[in-house]
Amino acid sequence: MKYTNYGRGLLFGAALLLGAAAAQAHHSFPAQYDINKPATLTGLVTKVDWRNPHVYFFMDVTNPDGSVTEWSFELANVSAMRGRGWDRDTLQEGDLLEVSGSLARDGSPLLNATDIKRVDGEQLLTSGSRL
């Protein structure tokens, strides 16, 4: 009986830890992004990452002082992006894009992308990925 309760306690503790990790991994939009902090950035795509729970891409953005910051852009999940007609080849390294969305609350160079267009004007995403 003593070992059964001990085993149950271990299982319960493990479940709590796994649940907390899962909750941290998938966040709500208002927890990570501020809708009242819109931004539009232009830069060169350096990497595209199709992974769950969301698609991400990265761009080098030149700051007003001439320095460059690598920004991360979060999109919807893989299935939702495929449903919008996107695939792994929609964005390529070296693409020059203008991206609009909401900035991260913590001030990091992270943006939830809602509108993406190529600098030639081709619209790739409109009212995009709000989580």
Domains of the chain (ranges; CATH) run 29-125 (2.40.50.140)
The residue whose two tokens read 């819109």 is 38
- The DSSP call for residue 85 is T
Mean pLDDT of 67-78: 96
Per residue in 41-70, pLDDT (tens digit) is 999 999 999 988 899 999 999 999 999 999
The residue whose two tokens read 């306690």 is 9
User: Above 90 in pLDDT, residue 86?
Assistant: yes
pLDDT for residue 70: 98
User: Above 60 in pLDDT, residue 7?
Assistant: no
Q: Which two tokens stand for residue 57?
A: 């891409």
Q: Which two tokens stand for residue 118?
A: 């190529």
Mean pLDDT of 3-23: 49
Could you give the 3-state DSSP secondary structure of residue 32?
helix
Q: Which two tokens stand for residue 85?
A: 């007609």
Q: What CA–CA distances, in Å, run from 73 to 16, 48, 58, 79?
A: 30, 10, 6, 17
Per residue in 87-112, pLDDT (tens digit) is 999 999 999 999 999 999 999 999 99
pLDDT for residue 26: 54
> Are 56 and 33 within 8 A, CB to CB?
no
Mean pLDDT of 60-88: 95
Residue 27 CB-density burial (10 A; 0-12 exposed, 13-18 middle, 19+ buried): middle
User: Above 60 in pLDDT, residue 81?
Assistant: yes
